[in-house]
Structure 1
Amino acid sequence: MKTRVGAPGAFARFDLTHVLVARKAFSKWSVGLLLLATLATPAAAQTEDAYAPARAIVADIGKIVTPNGVRETFEATLGGARQVVNVRGADRDNPILVFVHGGPGAVEMPFAWAFQRPWEDVFTVVQYDQRGAGRSYPLNDPAALAPTMTPDRYRDDAIELIELLQKRYGKKKVVLMGHSWGSIVGLSVAVKRPDLLYAYVGVGQGIDFREGEKAGMAWTRAKALAAGDTDAVAAIDALAPYPAGEFTIAKADGWRKYAIPYGSLIAGKPDLQYYFRTPRLSPEYGPADVAAWGKGSEFSVTTLWPRLADVSFRPVRKMDVPLVFLLGRHDYTVPSPVAADWFAKVKAPSKKLIWLEHSAHMPMVEEPGHFFAALLTDVLPLTKDRKKTK
């Protein structure tokens, strides 16, 4: 039975591509998992030690020294699972922005240093590693955690976190931003608990999993056909009847490994070198955390994938919270046209779709200036009544 989202529903893993590399580098099934396994090895962690001096420099540059600033990392128990929360901002009186990372398991705390610092002047920014992911992975017994890793539980974890932040920082509402897989979690929170939010911001927004897979495969096949890559065309055709029927990681990888070189993830960049290098300089992630990132990603993918086959927000025609979508024009990891089509039809107190013309799936990294300008112009004003509602 197809799961529809209008109330509690299922989520889909849209950004498996985060853990893939160009097809010339790896040709076996589930290349993402193979690479993550490599990242999780002691050798990878030992190599990371060489970057300790650089991490110290980045930490010093990003140090928050304003009198009313906030810079803390703590553990929170959400839905019975211990999870790591990072909070940064120049003024704790600013509105809170909660960032829900992608994946499942693709934590973005170790990448935040590359794009988040300007946000912290106007928002108190909260990143958290979801259950089974990143720094949260070693805090819980995987065997005990696995049965709890359901779509609804991730949504409710986010709700619990927001409620915790409300009490901790004396806020009534927050801005919620979901990226990729996190956009499914985030939009589900907005459906269930709009009272908690000033606005919902969708980045790399997922709407309908099967439709997104179909659109991404068609786009990749067309690119391969135009390039004369008959091997890629044949490989994609061989995945049929996918995305109908059974979902497997192998088939999901089977077309995405051809999409990356065409810029489906990062416009104009054919590989993911930046993705694996950026965390080396993160002040929030040391060698042990990088190892946990790899193990947690593999664990999350293998545990959640069978549970995420069907999801659709198509039945949702009305939202009770302002919506802002920041979509990369070239995003075919989570195809932007699918999100734009839904956005045009849904009703909301206010809504704004912003195209990042030179971005694919990672617009906050690809066009950080334009992305931040959108936060200032189109998101921050939605919190204007915060002093009255604290």
Structure 2
Amino acid sequence: MIATIVATSAAALLAAPTTGLLAHRAFRRSRNASLMRIDTPNGIDEQGFVRIGGIDQWISVRGEDLANPVVLELHGGPGASTAIFGPRTRTWEKYFTIVRWDMRGSLKTFGHGGADGQGEMTFDRIYADAVEVTDHIRARLRADKVVLLGHSYGSAFGVRLAREFPDRYAAYVGTDQNIHDAGRDDSVRQALLTRLRGAGKRKELAAVEALGRDEHRWTARERAMYAKLLATSDPLTLETMKKVVMGSLWCSPRHSLREMGLFVKGMTFSEQITASASGFDDWADGTEFEIPFFIFQGEKDVLTPPALARRFFDAVRAPVKGFELIQDCSHFAAFRRPDRFLELLLAHVRPVVADPAPAAAGI
């Protein structure tokens, strides 16, 4: 849903990269490669393609100690791999084994198979992939259960997986938590209209008003236009997308210039799965969870507002639960302030899931 604005930022970087810009990129990538090196005796740094759901999908497993709790990330977008944030989240790997997976339609998986090699692109198919990835990781790392970390659109998968499979997951953590309520809450759209009025954006205001509230009636182009306006109308979100998201991709030691283009193409390609989720209702699906349940949300998030996430959280019944706001953050709060996010993981999550057990390396 953020592919349009990401594409704009990527195009600016790729249009005519100067010698100086490329030299700066090379320096940053080299420094980040050193930062990401793992050389502890019981550490792991492995990545590669695994056959999931009938296609090859890219999975990374990193951590300084295989005895640490395992965290499986579900990235957002859809199609927006979180592997680009490796250097920013390096400190997480001291306390957790972090598993990052490029879903079908995303970055390395998309680049490997191409558009024709992604198979069925539906919410249900990717949901089934997530279960398969979970079981693959549990078997390979000899982990009875893993922590499920849902980012943005990935949290739509996350809450459903956490509710359905308490035997596979030790806890659920949502950030940029995406709450579906079958269209009852119109606060995001109303806040956008207010920002557009305040900025005197009459053309854009008229376009959003013309959409109406019923997302089921929107075309793919209208969804893209709406998503772009959500991000670009909020200075903090726009700055975060340019500096944190595109900055991370630009300086990632494990992603090429070609993959900057693939990141954008994969997100655009993956937008097709969002239509089926517009009628989801998280309250109707159930607020009972058998595992610890946490939400850590950016206090100024205009895409997935904390007030809506808080209302859902308040309705949740779980053995342990916790809700925290990450100050001075909009969307991508975990990656804008990764050290604060780690503090929350250590304070709330690790104490209820830490159970050192023998582990074996390998994807």
When normalised by structure 1's length, the TM-score is: 0.82
1:42: how far off? 9.4
**Map of 1:13-24 to 2, 5 A cutoff?**
16-17=1-2, 19-21=3-5
| In structure 2, C-alpha distance between the alignment counterparts of 1:143 and 1:235, rounded to whole Å | 34
Match of 2:211, SS?
coil
**Structure 1: gaps of 5 or more residues:** 1-15, 22-31
2:294 maps to what in 1?
A: 324
- Cα deviation for residue 181 of structure 1 reads 0.8
Letter in 2 for 1:358: D
CA separation of 1:226 and 1:186: change in aligned 2, threshold 3 A: same
Cα deviation for residue 298 of structure 1 reads: 2.1
Q: Which letter does structure 2 place at the counterpart of 1:254? A: M
Question: Residue 67 of structure 2 corresponds to which residue in structure 1?
Answer: 93
Aligned counterpart, 2:167 = 195
Deviations 1:282-334 (A, max 9, x none): 12212333232232222212x32443332221111211111010111111212
Residue 210 (structure 1) shift: 4.7
Q: State the one-letter code of the partner of 2:110.
A: Y
CA distance in structure 1 between the partners assigned to 2:15 and 2:206 by the alignment: 38
Give the aligned partner of residue 42 of structure 2.
Answer: 68
The one of 302, 305, 319 aligned to 1:349: 319
Q: Which residue of the partner structure matches residue 347 of structure 2?
A: 377
> Who is 1:307 aligned against?
276
**Quick check: 1:101–1:107 contact (8 Å CA) kept in 2?**
yes
The residue number in structure 2 matching 1:140 is 113
Deviations 1:240-284 (A, max 9, x none): 2x33541323222333333324438638x3863542232121122
Partner residue of 2:98 out of 122, 125, 128: 125
Q: Tell me, which stretches of 5 or more residues in structure 2 are unaligned?
A: none
1:141, distance to aligned residue in structure 2 (A):
5.1
> Following superposition of structure 1 onto structure 2, how do residues 278-293 of structure 1 map, counting pairs within 5 Å?
278-293=248-263
CA contact (8 A) 1:183 1:206 kept: yes
2:225 corresponding residue in structure 1: 254
Q: 2:337 aligns with which of 357, 367, 371?
A: 367
Note if 1:160 corresponds to 2:132. yes
The CA deviation string for residues 214-242 of structure 1, in whole angstroms up to 9 with x for no partner, is 321111112233444444432321222x3
Structure 1 residue 53, shift from structure 2 partner: 4.2
Residue 184 (str. 1) matches residue 159 (str. 2):
no
The reply on whether 1:298 has 2:298 as its aligned counterpart is no
Quote the RMSD (CA, aligned, Å): 2.9
Change (3 A) 1:224 1:64: same
State the 1:130 CA deviation.
Answer: 0.5
Change in 2 beyond 3 A, CA 1:100/1:264: farther
Partners of 1:278 and 1:62 in 2: CA distance:
13
Instruction: Pick closer, same or farther for the CA change 1:279–1:34 going to 2, 3 Å.
Output: closer
Task: Provide the C-alpha distance between the structure 2 equivalents of 1:47 and 1:161, rounded to a whole number of angstroms.
Answer: 41
Contact 1:220–1:255 under 8 Å retained in 2: no
- Which TM-score applies when normalising by structure 2? 0.88
Displacement of 1:105 after TM fit? 0.8
Residue of structure 2 in register with 1:29 after alignment: none
The 5-angstrom pairing of residues 3-18 of structure 1 reads 16-17=1-2
Task: Describe the SS at the equivalent of 2:32.
Answer: helix
Cα distance per residue 1:135-181 (max 9 Å; x no partner)? 001333533534x2221221221111111111111111111100011
How many angstroms apart in 2 are the aligned matches of 1:57 and 1:39?
Answer: 23
**Counterpart for residue 340 of structure 1:** 310
The letter of the residue matching 2:308 is V
Cα distance in 2 between the residues matched to 1:97 and 1:270: 24
Counterpart of 1:234 (choices 191, 199, 206) is 206
Distance in 2 separating the partners of 1:87 and 1:320: 27
CA distance, structure 2, for counterparts of residue 281 and residue 33 of structure 1: 16
Contact 2:192–2:230, Cα closer than 8 Å, also in 1: yes
Task: Tell me if structure 2 keeps the 8 A contact 1:216–1:332.
Answer: yes
